[in-house]
Amino acid sequence: MRGLRKSYRSRPVLRGVSLDLFPGQLVGVVGENGAGKSTLLRILTGDLAADSGVAECRGAVGSCPQGAVLHGAFTVEQHLRFFQAAYGLNSLDRAFELLEQLNCTGYRKQRVETLSGGTRQKLNLVLALMHDPQVLLLDEPYQGFDWDTYLRFWDLARTLCDRGCAVLVVSHLAYDASRLDTLYRLDAGVLHETGQSATGGWGS
Ligand SMILES: Nc1ncnc2c1ncn2[C@@H]1O[C@H](COP(=O)(O)OP(=O)(O)OP(=O)(O)O)[C@@H](O)[C@H]1O
């Protein structure tokens, strides 16, 4: 990203955001509600146009948006099949492996409208990961996760980085700054690199 600017009507949200994200890096962006984190991710995924600046992703992108892209009437497995077609995948082996890692295998035949919020979020994450993307963009990915799942999430994120994936996590909370390679704070439309805390806690 280079010099990204975005205003909604006359209200500036991003005022020149620049960031490099390399293969194998796990980077966090933290910021208050309304700071512009989702706006930034939506520009990166191509969902939203920036007013100026450049955003470029090389390689397959996996995106986990803040609002789950799920339909209540379909089962977990039907969602996987839909995304299998969209991604052009030969098999669902990786998707099933991810469900297993997130402790979700038992929900395969269940309709999404009957799932808990946390389980829906797990499915949302699996849909973003099942095609083994090289760039992973995650908006509040652990919202609604119980503690065990939260830890599994970070293990998974680190494993993906070890395989060469570039992972960007945005959140209004950064409890575990020490799990990240770099943590940025989005403040007044500009990214600031923050000091990392070896003990976790707020990234500031
Ligand atoms: N389509 C839109 N039209 C007008 N204003 C918008 C639009 N989308 C977002 N905004 C405003 O832009 C600002 C940034 O929103 P954004 O969703 O990017 O913030 P965020 O950092 O992701 O917030 P949160 O942590 O609450 O998810 C907010 O003030 C929001 O109200």
Please indicate, yes or no, if residue 203 is contained in any of the structural domains: no
Same domain, 156 and 173: yes
Please determine, for residue 66, whether its predicted confidence score (pLDDT) is greater than 90: no
Ligand 1: nearest atom to the Cα of 39: 18
| Residue 198 belongs to some domain of the structure | no
Model pLDDT, residue 178: 84
> C-alpha angle 30/60/56, rounded to 5°?
60
The ipTM, to two decimals, is 0.96
Average pLDDT over residues 150-179: 89
Residues 114 and 164 in one domain: no
Question: What's 197's DSSP letter?
Answer: P
CATH number of the domain to which 36 belongs = 3.40.50.300
Distances (CA, A) of 32 to 6, 29, 133, 187, 192: 17, 10, 28, 8, 13
Same domain, 51 and 144: yes
Does 36 contact ligand 1 (Cβ within 6 A)?
yes
| pLDDT reported for residue 69 | 81
- CA pair distance 188, 7, nearest whole angstrom: 12
**Strands across the sheet containing 190-193:** 61-64, 135-139, 166-171, 26-30, 182-187, 190-193
Q: What is the pTM of this model?
A: 0.90
- Give yes or no for residue 38 CB within 6 A of ligand 1: yes
Whether residue 88 sits in one domain with residue 112: yes
**pLDDT tops 60 at residue 197:** no
**Ligand 1 proximity of 6 Cβ (cutoff 6 Å):** no
Q: Of 96, 118, 133, which residue constitutes the final position of a domain?
A: 133
CA distance 50 to 47: 10
Confidence at residue 196, expressed as pLDDT on a 0 to 100 scale: 57
User: What's the structural domain count of the chain?
Assistant: 2
Whether the pLDDT of residue 100 is over 90: the answer is yes
Centre of ligand 1 to C-alpha 186, Å, is: 13
Tell me the average pLDDT across 102-110.
92
Q: Under DSSP, is residue 52 helix (H, G, I), strand (E, B) or coil? A: strand
Which residue segment(s) compose the domain that 10 sits in?
1-59+135-193
Do residues 140 and 128 share a domain? no
Q: Is the CB of 8 under 6 A from ligand 1?
A: yes
